[in-house]
Amino acid sequence: MAEKKHSRRDFIIKNATGGIGALLAPTLLAAGGASAAPAIAETLSSKPAILGGSPAWSESRWPKWPRWVPETDEPKVLDVLRSGVWSRAGVVTEFEKEWAGAIGTKRCLAVVNGTNALVVALSQMGVGAGDEVLVPPYTFISTVTAVLSNNAVPVFVDIDPATYQMDPAKIEAKITPRTKVILPVHIMGLPVDMKRINAIAKKHKLLVLEDACQAHFAEIDGKRVGSFGDAGCFSFQNSKNLPIGEGGAIVSNNDQLIDKCFSYTNLGNPYGTAIGSVGTGSFMQGTKLRFSEYQAAVGLAMLKRLDQETTIRNENAAYLSQLLKDIPGLVPQKTYPDATRSAFHLYAMRYNADAFRGLKRDDFLKSLRAEGVPCSSGYTRLNVQPFLAQTFGTQTYRKIYSKKELDIATYNKNNHCPENDKLCSEAVWFTQNMLLAERSDMEFIAAAIKKTYNNADQLKASLK
Ligand SMILES: *Cc1c(COP(=O)(O)O)cnc(C)c1O
């Protein structure tokens, strides 16, 4: 019976598609989850949706994000709202304890967002005027603006082309007497090579701050990222794997560092280890970036699902990668051997237009979107964006740095990142919520891509 079913499915797929459609069948069958096969065969045989055919999928069928389950998520939030205690108090402390426990660090400080978590962590690690911080170019802008907010200079370390992460092999060439912190980013939620980076930091007496804003519950050797550096930063912005709307956290095993961060984000009021070293009153210059009670209550609700959701994302990402192996010209982002779990805030891969017979990446993306598969081209080249020259032109920077140091042509030359340039021109992203769909739904992503591949010539001619 099973034998018969397999061969029938095989038959449908092979005959419906021609091209590389036939290649899909063995993978689907080997994976043993081919319930979607007849529907896929149908979609593969129709015209590309962008040219008037029926779409592979309906965009509205992907899981919505964020998720909200009134029965389980609302009681605590309502309690907080009705209590009238909305400014930082016990629920924020509870959330911080839970988050520190989950990541495996001694301490956690919740703040308004991930951007300011980075700004504050860097400032309290001592980064300021005249310092350099090593950053990767393939990241969200906040990684870099956090350095500039502290009047320091971001120095770009090009990426490892396979993993898209800051390449450890390229770090030492960028270290100068001014380097203070290495700031790697677990990009897309896949872990950085922290062991190598920590070893380099130790050798050169540098601090390490992990930007884990996309990497909730990603692991290296079973240990969660954010706990490897001197400190780690998380974001709880709406799109992130633990969404609160806005929110961020700094985690660390260093009491003094977190206490200083606490004081800084609470108007300079002494906290923890700082109490006793001073009398009353603010002992340091500070600002106010406090988290609020109802945000923490939302966070606690989201935290209950994070582990299970992370497992589902990993399983679906692995299945999708397996399906994409059959399609020439697509290479998913890789992890280092010691990465035991990823967060998959995004699923990223490289698109090789030549393998798609010259179909441009933008047209590939348009076709996928028309098939009901949302996607994007991802980051643009951060290391050449105008905000850098703008900052270097400010009075503050001109007071701190020499004309030569602020010469943007020289800066761009020293911060040239050819591997990143290439990735920015080739990347294709899917968002994390898509990986929360059914396992068989991954087959529709592969089918949309396959259909685009099979019709690449016609698409190229029509989408001029
Ligand atoms: C989202 C993000 C941030 C900033 O977090 P916000 O909470 O949005 O301020 C920083 N770094 C990376 C890599 C991010 O993805």
Mean pLDDT of the chain: 91
- pLDDT for residue 309 is more than 80: yes
Average pLDDT over residues 271-294: 83
Query: How far, in Å, are 63, 77, 116, 250, 296 from residue 124 at the CA level?
Result: 39, 32, 12, 11, 24
CB distance 378 to 429 below 8 Å? yes
Is the pLDDT reported for residue 19 higher than 60?
no
Ligand 1 mutation target, pool 142, 216, 244, 376, most atoms within 8 A of CB: 142
Where in the chain is CATH 3.90.1150.10?
2-63+305-378+424-462
Residue 80 has pLDDT above 60, yes or no: yes
- Among 53-57, 198-202, 311-315, 329-333, the least confident range: 53-57
CATH fit for domain 2-63+305-378+424-462, picks 3.90.1150.10, 3.40.50.720, 1.50.10.20, 3.40.50.300: 3.90.1150.10
Average pLDDT over residues 3-19: 35
pLDDT at 238: 98
Contact criterion met (CB below 8 Å) for 298 and 246: no
SS3 396: helix
CA-closest candidate to residue 193, choices 168, 172, 228: 168
User: Is residue 28's pLDDT more than 60?
Assistant: no
Could you give the residue range(s) of every CATH 3.40.640.10 domain in the chain?
70-302
Residue 281 pLDDT: 76
Pairing of strands 207-211, 231-235: parallel
How sure is the predictor about 7, in pLDDT bands with cuts at 50, 70 and 90? very low
Has residue 41 got a pLDDT over 60?
Answer: yes
Whether residue 165 has its Cβ less than 6 Å from ligand 1 = no
Nearest residue (CA) to ligand 1, atom 7:
114
Instruction: Please check whether residue 117 is in contact with residue 250, taking contact to mean a CB–CB distance below 8 angstroms.
Output: yes
Over residues 382-417, the pLDDT tens digits come to 999 999 999 999 999 999 999 999 999 999 999 999
Grouping H, G, I as helix, E, B as strand and the rest as coil, residue 90 is helix
Q: 445: exposed, middle or buried (C-beta count within 10 Å: 0-12, 13-18, 19+)?
A: buried
Q: Give 132's contacts (C-beta < 8 A, 6+ positions apart).
A: 152, 153, 154, 155, 176, 178, 179, 180
The answer to whether the CB of 124 is under 6 A from ligand 1 is no
* CB of 142 sitting under 6 A from ligand 1: yes
pLDDT for residue 25 is more than 60: no
Mean pLDDT of 92-118: 98
pLDDT given at position 242: 98
User: Mean per-residue pLDDT for 334-351?
Assistant: 98
pLDDT at position 365 over 90: yes
Amino acid 337: pLDDT = 98
User: How confident is the model over 51-72, as a mean pLDDT?
Assistant: 91
Quote the tokens at residue 357. 């017979």
What's the average model confidence in pLDDT over 209-228?
Answer: 98
How far is the centre of ligand 1, averaged over its atoms, from the C-alpha of 235 (Å)?
5
Q: 140: Cβ below 6 Å to ligand 1?
A: yes
Q: Report CA Rg, the chain.
A: 24
Q: Which amino acid is at 48?
A: P
Would you say residue 54 has pLDDT above 90?
A: no
Cis peptide before 66 (omega within 30 of 0): yes
CB atoms within 10 A of CB 88: 17
Query: Is the CB of 113 inside a 6 Å radius of any atom of ligand 1?
Result: yes
Non-local CB neighbours of 52 within 8 Å, separated by 6+ positions:
none
The answer to whether the CB of 210 is under 6 A from ligand 1 is: no
**Contact criterion met (CB below 8 Å) for 18 and 12:** no
- Domain spanning 70-302: which CATH class is it, in words? alpha beta
Per-residue model confidence (pLDDT) at position 44: 81
If one residue of 119, 120, 140 were mutated to test the ligand 1 pocket, choosing by the most ligand atoms within 8 A of its CB, it would be: 140
Residue 383's contacts (CB-CB under 8 Å, 6 or more residues apart) are 137, 156, 412, 415, 416, 417, 420
- pLDDT beyond 70 at 4: no
Residues found in the chain: 464
Nearest-angstrom CA–CA distance, 277 and 177: 32
Report the pLDDT value the prediction gives residue 59, as an integer from 0 to 100: 76
DSSP SS3 for 317:
helix
Q: How far is CA 395 from CA 130, 173, 215, 351, in A?
A: 14, 30, 36, 42
Q: Is the dihedral of CA 277, 281, 283, 289 positive or negative?
A: positive
3-class SS at 266? strand
Q: How many CB atoms lie within 10 A of CB 120?
A: 28
21-31 and 293-324 are packed helices; what angle lies between their axes, rounded to 10 degrees?
Answer: 120
- For the stretch 163-206, pLDDT in tens is 999 999 999 999 999 999 999 999 999 999 999 999 999 999 99
- Looking at residue 282, its pLDDT comes to 80
Give the residue-averaged pLDDT of 299-322: 98
Structural tokens at position 184? 């790697």
pLDDT tier at 36 (50, 70, 90 boundaries)?
Answer: low
* CA 424 centroid distance within chain: 15
User: Quick one: pLDDT at residue 3?
Assistant: 36
Share of the chain above pLDDT 90, in %: 84
Question: What is the Å distance from ligand 1's center to 6 Cα?
Answer: 46
